[in-house]
Chain A
């Protein structure tokens, strides 16, 4: 991994099933994440994904790419356009910094409305011998 490296994009269909199962798996029972009528009554055109699911998907995108030894150190995300059913979330990532076995990756998740999520992930990938070259003390330069 090196700065400037671009991760292959990951497309995730935003289904009602994904939104509802993500909300339930994260124990978030806000009605706007499972009840379309309630969401409309609150001014949204449909139900929408909760932030915990987005967080989980961003983490999965990074560890899918960096492999079975990858370990998440920090995930910092900001939400923009909502993820409604029928849309597609396309996650892209760019390595912005590398320090030993630790990389900072800038992640953007776009849907049909614009940027659903932007964020920065710090991930450590131990060397082949399992040693963590950057186990402690490597704080990023800020997200």
Chain B
């Protein structure tokens, strides 16, 4: 065993040990009987609305309510800091800080508003450490996600719930990265001698299926030889464009640059009998169904990339000539 392997093993063991210690905080209080430093009040509501550019009439006048999205603001410690945090929460943060996860960034906020907050309402809150993740590596760096769930009360009645997730992490690199000038682009297809004809077809708005000239078997994606008879000779047939959803998955996580989850990834069976993985467009991700008729079209992703995709909600038996819509 090399020194490097030893170090990797030691690090992994330390990480497992840390995670076991972090998980002991799950279910423990993050704040108990916290009190909002100010009651709900019109000046803070007005300052919020000015900052957000929000001129909703419900947030003004004698019957004003607070913007519901201010829920967390009423619980904030401000410059004088939090006095309500539990010893458990402080200990959890000290443990993460001590392990080198010194930076913090908020990643998720889920709020439900049960009753409107009105000027004069006194805010109290209780929060629990809901979960601590195992060690995750993100673009920012490596760390642990900590999720808390808070109940916010006004005048003793539950007014809203607030689930909040932060990443406590060790920055990937100090000094920062320059902001990228362009939005992320979809990955490029890997084009080689064996599949170049397929992408030439896509560029010409045709979907070409390989056909073995030995036994006639159709194949997609393209391969150098026939899986049935082994022949290496082939020609192509153009797909008519009709298909059905043979199967699909919905991608929620992890997010990839240039993709916006959730989205459906479908295995489409073409009328010719071969199947291909693609996107279904023209229908919400949660409305894609097995057996759904779809029709080929070409989606222009950016100035250099077009992709064959399948549109739902059009007649499956349409004429071939209208198949190549300009996505």
Contacts and interface: CB of A to CB of B under 8 A. Distances in A.
Contacts of B76: 26-28
Contact of B106 (A71, A76, A79, A80): A79
Interface in A46-89: 46, 50-53, 55-60, 63-64, 68, 70-80, 84, 87
A22 B69 CA distance: 12
Nearest to B78: A27
Contacts of B173: 43
A118 B255 CA distance: 11
A84 to B, nearest CB: 6
A40 B183 contact: no
Interface string B30-61: 00000000000000100110111110111000
Contact of A52 (B72, B110, B183, B260): B72
Contacts of B79: 29
A45 to B, nearest CB: 4
A45 B107 contact: no
Contacts of B7: none
Contacts of A77: 108-110
A118 B263 CA distance: 13
A1 interface: no
B56 A113 contact: no
B111 to A, nearest CB: 5
Contacts of A108: 260
Given A45-B178, A78-B108, A22 B68 contact: no
A59 B68 contact: yes
B110 A114 contact: no
Contacts of A134: none
Nearest to B116: A71
B69 A72 contact: yes
Nearest to A68: B57
Contacts of A52: 69, 72-73, 109
A27 B80 CA distance: 10
A15 B184 CA distance: 23
A96 B284 contact: yes
Given A56-B51, A112-B183, A76 B110 contact: yes
In this complex, the member of A29, A55, A78 whose beta carbon has the largest number of chain B beta carbons within 10 angstroms is: A55
A74 B113 contact: yes
Contacts of B180: 112-113
Given A43-B174, A68-B57, A74 B111 contact: yes
Contact of B68 (A24, A57, A72, A79): A72
Interface in B78-105: 78-79, 103, 105
Report, nearest first, the 8 A-B pairs whose CB atoms are least far apart. Answer: A27-B76, A59-B69, A76-B110, A43-B171, A21-B51, A51-B106, A25-B51, A60-B54
Given A68-B58, A112-B182, A118-B260, 18 more contacts: A4-B284, A18-B51, A25-B48, A25-B50, A29-B78, A40-B175, A45-B177, A50-B106, A56-B67, A59-B54, A60-B54, A75-B69, A76-B109, A77-B108, A79-B106, A79-B108, A94-B284, A115-B255
10 contacts: A40-B175, A43-B175, A43-B176, A56-B51, A59-B54, A60-B69, A77-B108, A79-B105, A114-B183, A115-B260
